[in-house]
Amino acid sequence: MSLWRQLARGLGALTNRRAADQDIADEVESYLEQSAAALEASGLSPDEARRRARCELSSETAVREQVRSYGWENIIASSLSDLRYAARRLSGNSGFTTISVLTLALGIGASTAIFSVIEGVLLKPLPYPQSGQIVALRHTAPGIHIDDLNLAASLYFTYSEENRVFQDVGMWRADTASVTGVGQPEEVSGLVVTNRFLAVLGVQPVLGRGFTASDDDPKSERAVILSDGYWKSHFGGDRSVLGHRILLDGEAHAVIGVMPPSFQFMDRPVSLIVPLRINRADIRLISFCCQGIARLKPGVTLTQANADVMRMLALAPAKFAVNPGFSSNVWATTRIAPRLRLLKDVLVGDIGKTLWMLMGTVGIVLLIACANVANLLLVRADGRRQELAVRAALGAGWGRIARELLLESLLVGATGGGLGLALAYGALRVLAASGVEHLPRVHEISIDPAVLAFTAGISLVAGLLLGLIPVFKYARPQLSNALGSGGRSISQSKERHRARSLLVIVQVALAVVLLVGSGLMIRTFRALRHIDPGFSRAEELETLHLSIPESQVAAPERAIRMEEEILRKIESIAGVSSVAITSNLPMEGGSDDPVYAEDHTAQVSSVPPIRTYKFVSPGYFSTTGARLIAGRDLTWAETYNQTPVALVSENMARELWHDPRAAIGKRIRPTLKDDWRQVIGVVADLRDEGVDQKAPGIVYWPLLQKNFESSATYVFRSVAFVIRTPRAGSLALLQDLQKAVASVNSNLPLADVKTLESVYDRSLARTSFTLVLLAIAGGMALLLGLIGIYGVISYSVSQRTREIGIRLALGAPLQNVTGMFVRHGMVLSGVGVAFGLTGALALTRLMKSVLYDVSPSDPLTYVEVSIALVLAATLASYLSAHKATRVDPVEALRAE
């Protein structure tokens, strides 16, 4: 049968109802005429014929209605008219409608915003084909207390050659290079990768070719692939760029390809991709240098892959010789084991917990908003009790009335949802503009179809649930009751209050949960702000990166002399009080390697604990404000003479020698082959891995050393300058810095100029992000809860005007009357607080991972929140109860 015809005619009738009705009316009329004509032909008079025809037809209207009711479009048409009616009723009561729509919009908007963050960050797959197959090749080494270890070049070759579970294996590290010859000298970030890296991701250049095995060979010509952004900004998107040579750190690299615009990797700024050129023959067993990724064969699970890597780890010592300076059983003592994780999980990290916690939080706000709107709807339905009862008595079906009430709340829900979506869009724009760097995949957050479906879903569910409460309370047939109790009722029955009181209790309880959560976050934040991070007044510390390539200054000592020369130039800038150089800024890590201590002989047979290495210039500690606990700082003379000296952190000194002073004069070295170095100073601990993390053991070495980590001369060419000045962060200072560096060498680009405060803030970012969002949610919950209490009390006052009138007329003092209502409000909030505290005790356990130095059941927070909430609730009830005092007994008794 022709479905098409059904659809087309139905739509036609729907869009042009009047024409369709006219057609039916015409046909009925014509039927009548024909019928009359036939009767006339059989000999009746025209009038009589017409009368008889009309009789036979019975009612013209009834026939028209009967014919009209055929067709699917009629269901829609009648629903539409119901909807129009609901809309008209809602717009008739604009106060109620505005408040409920806005309340819902807030709740839905907040939920939508957080959900789109969750969708973009956690749920959406990475932008590579079958991205679920891509794993990060991480390891653990319990033998040397390392939980999370990267990939060694030896293991990269082992895995590539021996695996049974991977389609492809790749190795990469992030790096920066100074590009010269393309406009201004510039420090550009990029990736250094092995040839199958792009194949693991399943992405290939759109222009030119990808890397091949020969590109990894150090003897081949150097190649580079450009990102789309870099290609467009530096080469104007010119396709003839292929084969063009550009200078990276002074070396010519041939451009062989351009990546697609959509290419991205681990949230890193990637302008260039160059091959990781390694000679397999030079690789030693311990060569942890890079990150590994691999693509699993279809159907292989992480467990199977881990098992296969475990098998291959045992093969590595047979394939690669152990490094000079390490004992031969070093591999066994590390007890290295696989810890493969999905690439997405590595990228997203542990932010999932925080995000789901926030989702729960906004869910609670949404519930409170719904409770408020439900309360309003109940008040409205209560006002219509008599009307509904009369209609039911006249024969309106339960379903009919229920449909009306439901349509009304669905309409409120849908409007609230639409507005909420707009709010969420605005919130996401703010989020994007605020540049939350610490949030992974932040650029992938958007309002996509999944988010739209989510919003539509919660709006619908909210609308339905809201509608169902009055439906079950009022659409039920209980007419005699409702008809009887209207009119001059003495006072309100308890039963009519119960639903509303219950909603207010729920609201208060939920608000308590959120406020306790925000209270705990505030205490966490305060605790973190009070921790000494190991440096002081970070807002006065400007930092910048630069590197002196070997192609420009070959001799190691000359490179350091140039670094010192730049340091002296910067020192002479107005307002600068001191300057120092370091390999890695505070909170930006360093290399992690073992340290042997001369008087700990047991370490020789195994691997000693891993420490963080930082390489510093003299004056580094006084510049950053790190306290020297014992001993003294380095000198420039020691640096240039390559005197074997070092400083250690306080916790490391205590661990090895129990007292910082005892550390002075002790000797340490990185490997068994190196020279011993004398400890000349002990520095206060540095919270290098974040304010809320334990301070690691740190060794500070000079920038220039000999016989260090198996190299004859060890030099740091890529360094960060730390500058203490009140002008930190200003544009004028940046210009002065550029001039100072250019006056020494005009080919050195400055990179990553920022204040140390921004690094410090970033380490607190997750806590402050969670705190701000929880505080907003808590504030909204408190406000909505108070509005709820206010609403219930003032409704109760308005319903009991007569009673108040009688009480006042009989001589009750005003305070007693208001006291009655305030007590009611206090009881409601008291019960709510009690439930809320119980709920908070249970729910805040989930927050444990984001708290610092405060227990999830911290009594002080609980007491503070309870007192604050009861006080606020009392105030809200007092304000609404105050209306009772304006009741004039005479008026009240006359009313109704």
Partner 1 sequence: MNEPTTDVIQGTLDMLILKTLSLEPMHGFGIARRIEQISRGVFKVNPGSLLTALQRLERGGWLDAEWRRTQNSRRAKIYKLTRAGKKQLDNETADWSRRTSAIARLLKAEG
610 has which bridge partners?
Answer: 594
Residue 41 or 281 with smaller CB distance to partner 1: 41
Residue 69 or 601 with smaller CB distance to partner 1: 69
Residue 23 or 598 with smaller CB distance to partner 1: 23
Residue 23 or 891 with smaller CB distance to partner 1: 23
User: What is the Cα–Cα distance from 276 to 282, expressed in whole angstroms?
Assistant: 14
Q: For residue 398, give both structure tokens.
A: 């339960």
What is the DSSP code (8-state) at residue 617?
Answer: -
CB 417 within 8 A of CB 140: no
Residue 62 or 76 with smaller CB distance to partner 1: 62
Please report how close the Cβ of residue 38 comes to partner 1 at its closest, in angstroms.
Answer: 6
Using DSSP's 3-state secondary structure scheme, residue 606 falls into: coil
Residue 9 or 384 with smaller CB distance to partner 1: 9
Please report how close the Cβ of residue 82 comes to partner 1 at its closest, in angstroms.
Answer: 24
Residue 279 has φ and ψ, to the nearest 5°, of: -100, 115
Q: For residue 633, give both structure tokens.
A: 């700082």
Please report how close the Cβ of residue 843 comes to partner 1 at its closest, in angstroms.
Answer: 58
Residue 9 or 476 with smaller CB distance to partner 1: 9
Residue 64 or 727 with smaller CB distance to partner 1: 64
- Helix residue ranges, H only, 580-720: 620-624, 636-641, 650-657, 660-663
Please report how close the Cβ of residue 204 comes to partner 1 at its closest, in angstroms.
Answer: 54
Tell me the CB-side half-sphere exposure of residue 222, using CA atoms within 13 A.
14
User: What is the Cα–Cα distance from 617 to 637, expressed in whole angstroms?
Assistant: 11
Residue 22 or 713 with smaller CB distance to partner 1: 22
Scan for tokens 């009138």, then name that residue.
805
- In 3D space, the residue among 705, 699, 651 whose CA is nearest the CA of residue 674 turns out to be 705
Residues binding partner 1 (CB under 8 A)? 1-2, 5-6, 9-10, 24, 26-28, 30-31, 33-35, 37-38, 56-58, 62-63, 66-67, 69-71
Residue 7 or 732 with smaller CB distance to partner 1: 7
- In this structure, are strands 337-338 and 139-141 parallel, antiparallel, or unpaired? antiparallel
Please report how close the Cβ of residue 397 comes to partner 1 at its closest, in angstroms.
Answer: 24
Residue 4 or 886 with smaller CB distance to partner 1: 4
Please report how close the Cβ of residue 93 comes to partner 1 at its closest, in angstroms.
Answer: 40
- In 3D space, the residue among 372, 357, 465 whose CA is nearest the CA of residue 105 turns out to be 372
Measured over all CA atoms, what is the biggest interatomic distance in the chain, rounded to whole angstroms?
137
Q: For residue 386, give both structure tokens.
A: 């008599």
**C-alpha 504, offset from chain centre:** 31
What is the DSSP code (8-state) at residue 297?
Answer: P
Please report how close the Cβ of residue 59 comes to partner 1 at its closest, in angstroms.
Answer: 9
Please report how close the Cβ of residue 779 comes to partner 1 at its closest, in angstroms.
Answer: 58
- In 3D space, the residue among 382, 454, 456, 372 whose CA is nearest the CA of residue 413 turns out to be 456
* Residues 17/19/22/26 CA torsion (nearest 10 deg): -140
What is the DSSP code (8-state) at residue 588?
Answer: S
Residue 6 or 743 with smaller CB distance to partner 1: 6
User: What is the Cα–Cα distance from 512 to 505, expressed in whole angstroms?
Assistant: 11
Residue 27 or 437 with smaller CB distance to partner 1: 27
CB 741 within 8 A of CB 748: yes
Please report how close the Cβ of residue 63 comes to partner 1 at its closest, in angstroms.
Answer: 4
b/e per residue, 134-170, with b = 16+ CB within 10 A?
Answer: bbbbbbbbebbebeebbbbbbbbbbbbeebebbbbbb
Please report how close the Cβ of residue 24 comes to partner 1 at its closest, in angstroms.
Answer: 8
Please report how close the Cβ of residue 19 comes to partner 1 at its closest, in angstroms.
Answer: 13
CB 256 within 8 A of CB 209: yes
CA 513, 519, 522, 528 dihedral sign is: negative
Please report how close the Cβ of residue 400 comes to partner 1 at its closest, in angstroms.
Answer: 24
User: What is the Cα–Cα distance from 636 to 564, expressed in whole angstroms?
Assistant: 9
Please report how close the Cβ of residue 470 comes to partner 1 at its closest, in angstroms.
Answer: 38
**C-alpha 592, offset from chain centre:** 30
